[in-house]
Chain A
Amino acid sequence: MDITLQINDSVHDLSVRKNQSLLDVLRGLGYMSVKRGCDVGDCGSCTVLLDGNPVRSCMTPAYKADGREILTLEGLNDGPDLHPIQEAFVEAGAIQCGYCTPAMVLTTKALLDKNPDPDEEEIGAALNGVLCRCTGYTKQIAAVQKAAAILRDSPGPELAPRYLTLPPEGKPFEALPEEYRRPNGEKNPLPPLVLTPPDMPPTEYVGQPQQKVDAVKLAKGRPVFTDDIKLEGMLYGALLTSPHAHARIREIDTRAAEALPGVRAVLTYKNVPRVKYASGGQSYPNPTPYDQVVLDNKVRHVGDRVAVVAADTLEIARKALRLIKVDYEILPPVLDPVEAMKDGAPVVHDEDDTEGIHDAQHNIVHHLHGEVGDVEKALAEADTVFEGEFRTPQQQQAHIEPHVCITWFDEDDRLVIRSSTQVPFHIRRMVAPLIGLPVKQIRVIKPRLGGGFGNKQELILEDLCSLLTIRTGKPVRMEYTREQEFIYSRSRHAHIMRYRIGVKGDKVTAADLYLIGDTGAYGTHSLTVQMVGGFKGLTIYNAPNSRFDCDVVYTTKPTPGAFRGYGTMQELFGMETLMEEIAEQLGLDVLEFKRKNWLKVGEPMYLAKQLGEGREGFEQTMNTNGLERCVEVGVKATDFYAKREAYRKQTGRIRKGIGVAVVMHGSGVAGLDMAAATIKMNDDGSFNLLIGATDIGTGSDTILAQIAAEALHAPVEDFIVYSSDTDFTPFDTGAYASSTTYISGGAVRKAALKVADQIREHAAAMLGDVSAETLKLEDSRILAPDGRSLTYAEVALSSLHQMNQHQIIASASHMSYESPPPVGAQFVEISVDTETGVITPERLLMVVDSGRIVNPVTASGQVEGGLSQALGFTLSEQMLYDEKGRMVNARLGDYHIYKAGEMPPSDVIFVQTDEPSGPFGAKSVAEISIDGVAPAMASAIHNATGVWIHELPYTPERVWRALHGK
């Protein structure tokens, strides 16, 4: 049908199909700010304004917009300046990955057009239709308040971080600002509070709330994501997945699909090479097992790969999939890891060409063991031995941008892979043998990422897309549907853990952990996740007699992989909960008991060497630990002890509770993660900062620029950051394991210091009669002791054009045999409806020591986002299956991640320490925020009701059953 769309200031006459969505039409016309997240109306990232009202363009047939006014983010402003709403989002730090930003900004515009002064509740309700997985919504709500204030010409909320100096060690901190206590239950977003020891040297650019270097383009909805380009002659790939949890493919007939006009290639196990691999994007050599092939003649979970098609349009590709006839020999599924280990259970990997399975007949991928001291003896000698079994669910990353990949041959016949990946360098190395090209023939480009959280640390689409381009010679685009994201990307390993803790007096003398990790159909990341779980779960209290045993087990379910906080958050749930149970049973104050036992500065981590990450590790000692101060500040900010006591006496139907947990994480993988950076000086004294590190929305491009700025004494605005492209940026293992600030930051600092030396040397030559060592760098100038000075621009022009001509440029690499742990105290306040089991979170507070905070706005954004994901893990999120292994909640609406209007106030306080091994004292911040909510929630529920619940998530029914003995 013929329609006329008025989009922003343009009129488009076009012909559309009746079922064609407005989303498809808008993106087809080049309005790339309109994002595709689910195509079924759950995520809201495709929101546009129709006659001023927000609608989901995926749910709106294009014909219904005929003659109506459509506003996309491209139409909000056409000049270089930002609209006040965009300005507020940038200033508030409300943009992380930026994928949901266009929808958020437009929804905000519609809200403020109707209601110029909304309160937090009204803002939350308005933003409920747009999911964000990065931010936790705190800064977005603040941004809306700020935008409203700007538009009303009033000052609005204070967004800048607050900085206070701590008293000397051993002295109590008495200066906590009143608002961080939330004395009257206020819900307004608070800026992060940064507490600094009195003896910590000041910094200039590091530590500042620097605006994100990519914020403006993201605020404007520029076409910066993988799928925001369209190449001439591009084909569309589509994936056929298994309807069965376990089956052998007896025959597959693709003739009808191949005969369909517009189909350019059909790939199955019959016509692609059988090369074994592990899909986890990890360092060489990838951890075993190598139990995958590109396409197999056996399927091991519903959603497993069967065939892939490339066609002129996506519709033709999908039609072709329906024409592929597959004859399956259906095999029995096995969905429970305990059942999977029993004699006679269905064998998930019965092929004879997989390397590295511990016991294939019992589906045991790995059996892991680590031990220090004599655990049995210590348990026998303990005053009391406490035991507990805990279970955690399979959680999905649910980043809003799906996996998407575009491949093509460039003018030199090299294969270009443009992919939404956290690990471009690993992808290049790993995909090469699967597609039969040498590494040098492959270039991987990582544009902006719409979230990843570990799920894009996997080889997911790149092999299929590349093979289709190789087969057809044409550009090919592949994108996962949201259902495929659930059933054929990755997720968090479900864990069953059994702890035994031996206590003598108030000291933990022995700790024994047996873990069953459910790795689903394939073993990617199965070694490392579980090893990390054992190490972190046992090291926080670091008993001298510690033992870890683990079986990692195949089942016929979608495969887990890397997900923020992997291993650690599961095992800390068990350990922290059991520690509080022990304290209760011994009549000890929980924080005092934990304080007596937690890892302290100077103490060796007993299991560090045995439990590295997939290989033997390195001896580790804790250098810095602000946990004592974190706990002190958190106790004051929540009035912990008074509430704790008062809540114990409740008898009503609705009961309040307050809980606490302490957490510890790491900063990169010791002795394994490596990053490099290159800094190049330009004619005007600015710099290109080229990094292989991948900013997946975390703000790492920005904090790395701040680190470079600090070392070079030049403003952040003078650094043009580019990440990452395997042809043009130096190597980096990628964005995972909380490594970017610590490892990539270390590389950037080293490269910057080298450049600083070169600047001094050239300036010394220009000035004459002065040694480079005496020159000082300050504000993009070189200052000589005699008062003379040069600008960076003068040095750059001289070095490039006039004297001793050379490029001022340096590269540096960094790795570390240390992985200094950030630590933190997590507080949770809730109410429990004891009649229904419904838990209402009322406040989250995390007080965290991540070393020196490079950027309090981006760092607090990381914490807030982690808290939101942790809240989902704790209360609502789980991948659920029927008896045939079909996931029953494989869409965002049913799976349900937290929405803007549901989040409780989430407060962040940083207790800085000066980590000697970190760049300018920094440790990591990205993952620790996800570790503590679950055990703190267990603690709060117990405070409210007296009941311990050992299995997550705490759905109303689970809590109700626990409370009522059902």
Chain B
Amino acid sequence: MTAPLSALSLTLISSPGEGQHLIVDGLTPLQALLDATPHTPPLLQDLLQLGEITWQYRNETTVASALSGGAPAIPWLVGLAAWGGAVLLSDDQEIPTEAYLARKAGARRAEGLRIPVKRENRTWGEAHVSITPSDRPIVLAVAMLEWDGEAIASAGLAIHGVSKQGVLVIPEIETWVGASQPDATALAEQAAAHFAPRSDFRASAEYRHEMGKVVIRRALEQALTGEKA
């Protein structure tokens, strides 16, 4: 399912020092990102097929409307936040995905996305718990590590299902930058300090709290051991 970028309303740009990015118009359907192999990062492609996201949903839903908080898109938004995607705003500014989702853009509209493309020095991990594979995840975490040789140069970690925010970014991941022997279990415990889960019909707050730690640890472990691509 590969198509030329131009046919998908996508643009590939290169910035000195920042590498290649995919510029995505806000009116682009999510399906275009899946069809944009090999430029869309595999992590984000996987997340566009996870949980409640169906082919129909991807065809109907634009990037801008997904950013407005459609529940099925949450796994992808978690991935976008961890991966370092930025939301392009109507005043030509941009803000991190998680900031936009936290409504920090004010009245400015989302007009597009800037997504770092697949990079050879990045690894990632994703873990989630759901009642069935295509149900909405109870908790879901995504971790991204960018490597400079054997050292972590930058990192992202985001989670869903443990707070009232749809996407919660865990700032402690920054402590991994430059760390020699990062400990996923320890970071998961630290991350739990940010959790304030609420019970719903899918799971209790207690379960969400415990699973939040589990999925963070698993996502980090995957990212640490994952192949760089």
Contact = CB atoms under 8 A, between A and B. Distances in A.
Nearest to A880: B201
Nearest to A64: B60
Interface residues of B, number: 29
Interface stretch (A25-33, A50-58, A712-720, A780-788): A50-58
Contact of A44 (B31, B56, B131, B210): B56
Interface string A948-966: 0000000111001100001
A54 B56 contact: yes
A896 interface: yes
A194 to B, nearest CB: 31
A59 interface: yes
B60 A56 contact: yes
A901 B201 contact: no
A920 B131 CA distance: 44
Contacts of A894: 136, 201
A260 interface: no
Contacts of B201: 880, 888-889, 894
Contacts of B31: 53
Given A836-B211, A896-B131, A960-B207, A126 B55 contact: yes
B133 interface: yes
Interface string B83-119: 0000000000000000000000000000000000000
B56 A125 contact: no
Most buried by A among B1, B132, B202: B132
A320 B59 CA distance: 36
Given A896-B132, A902-B134, A55 B60 contact: yes
Contact of B132 (A41, A836, A902, A961): A902
Contacts of B134: 128, 896, 899, 901-902
Given A114-B1, A125-B49, A54 B132 contact: no
A875 B131 contact: yes
Given A128-B134, A835-B214, A53 B59 contact: yes
A955 B60 CA distance: 31
Interface in B198-229: 200-204, 206-207, 210-211, 214
B40 interface: no
Interface string B131-152: 1111110100000000000000
Contacts of A56: 56-57, 60
Contact of B57 (A129, A960, A961): A129
A876 B59 contact: no
B133 A956 contact: no
Interface in B22-61: 31, 49, 52, 54-57, 59-60
A114 B59 CA distance: 14
Contact of B129 (A110, A838, A898, A966): A838
Contacts of B214: 835-836
Contacts of A53: 31, 55, 59
B59 A54 contact: yes
Given A128-B54, A835-B214, A956 B138 contact: yes
A456 B179 CA distance: 63
B60 A129 contact: no
A892 to B, nearest CB: 11
A880 B204 CA distance: 13
Contacts of A110: 55
Contact of A129 (B54, B130, B200, B206): B54
A960 B132 CA distance: 15
A60 interface: yes
A115 B214 CA distance: 37
A40 to B, nearest CB: 12
B207 to A, nearest CB: 4
Most buried by A among B1, B56, B206: B56
Contacts of A961: 207
Interface in B118-171: 129-136, 138
B132 A55 contact: no
Contacts, number: 84
A893 interface: yes
Q: Contact size class for A?
A: 35 or more
B52 A44 contact: no
Contact of B131 (A115, A129, A955): A955
A470 to B, nearest CB: 41
Contact of B135 (A60, A107, A126, A896): A896
Nearest to A901: B134
B137 to A, nearest CB: 11
Contacts of B210: 960
B7 to A, nearest CB: 12
A50 B211 contact: no
A50 B58 CA distance: 13
A44 B129 CA distance: 24
A876 B132 contact: yes
A836 B56 contact: no
Interface in A827-854: 835-836, 838
A893 to B, nearest CB: 6
A587 to B, nearest CB: 35
A840 B154 CA distance: 35
B55 A107 contact: yes
A893 B203 contact: no
Given A126-B55, A128-B54, A901 B60 contact: no
B58 to A, nearest CB: 9
Nearest to A889: B201
Interface string A894-934: 10101101100000000000000000000000000000000
A41 B59 CA distance: 13
Contacts of B56: 41, 44, 47, 54-56, 59, 129
Given A125-B49, A957-B203, A957-B207, A902 B133 contact: yes
A114 B206 CA distance: 44
A23 B166 CA distance: 31
B133 A901 contact: yes
A472 to B, nearest CB: 38
Given A53-B59, A896-B132, A957-B204, A44 B54 contact: yes
Contacts of B200: 888
Contacts of B57: 41, 56, 129
Contacts of B129: 836, 838, 956
A115 B60 contact: no
Contacts of A107: 55
Nearest to A838: B129
A899 to B, nearest CB: 5
Nearest to B1: A114
A966 B206 CA distance: 10
B67 to A, nearest CB: 17
B8 to A, nearest CB: 12
Most buried by A among B49, B54, B131, B203: B54
A933 to B, nearest CB: 14
Nearest to A888: B201
Nearest to B72: A893
Nearest to B129: A836
Contacts of A115: 1
Most buried by A among B31, B134, B138: B134
Contacts of A47: 56
A875 B133 CA distance: 12
Most buried by B among A889, A894, A955, A957: A957
B52 A893 contact: yes
A956 B131 contact: yes
A110 B35 CA distance: 14
18 contacts: A44-B56, A53-B59, A55-B59, A107-B55, A115-B1, A128-B54, A128-B55, A128-B134, A129-B56, A129-B57, A838-B129, A875-B132, A894-B136, A896-B131, A901-B133, A955-B203, A956-B129, A957-B203
Name the 3 nearest CB pairs between A and B, nearest first.
A129-B54, A129-B56, A957-B207
Given A893-B52, A902-B134, A957-B207, 8 more contacts: A41-B56, A55-B59, A55-B60, A56-B60, A59-B56, A126-B55, A888-B201, A956-B130
Interface of B: 1, 31, 49, 52, 54-57, 59-60, 129-136, 138, 200-204, 206-207, 210-211, 214
